[in-house]
Amino acid sequence: MQVTIKNLEDYLCHQYGGRAPEQSLFMKLVEEMGEVAEVLNKRAGRKAGDGADLDAELGRELADMIHYTVAIAAVNGLDLNEIILEKDRRASVKYHHDINLETFIKEANHG
């Protein structure tokens, strides 16, 4: 099963809409960011590990970061799909990329 940004936004709006202040969601995002940093430090040997599967742990923590990032957008009625495409279009011009995300997706779906 594939999860789209829209699916996740709708689900998280249903879960949090009107019940979770954006500041609380942001604090959870920051907490999860710290957990990602901890895993990366373990992977780099800067922090002792506990024998856990660091790849799986990193994946879970990144998923948590995505969860809270999308939740903040969802409770604010933001369309991340369009925002991501527009931001990438601008970055592609600014940084002289050969291709932007929208073109990449179109080519991948027709190639």
Hunting for tokens 């903040």 — which residue is that? 72
Q: Cα–Cα distance between 103 and 107 in angstroms, integer?
A: 6
User: Hey, what are 38's tokens?
Assistant: 């901890």
Digit-coded pLDDT (tens) for 75-89: 999 999 999 999 999
pLDDT mean across residues, the chain: 95
- 66 Cβ neighbours under 8 A, 6+ residues apart: 8
Is it the case that residue 111 has pLDDT exceeding 80? Answer: no
Look up the pTM and report it: 0.90
Q: Which stretches of the chain are assigned E, i.e. beta strand?
A: none
Domains in the chain, please, with CATH?
A: 1-78 (1.10.287.1080), 79-111 (no CATH)
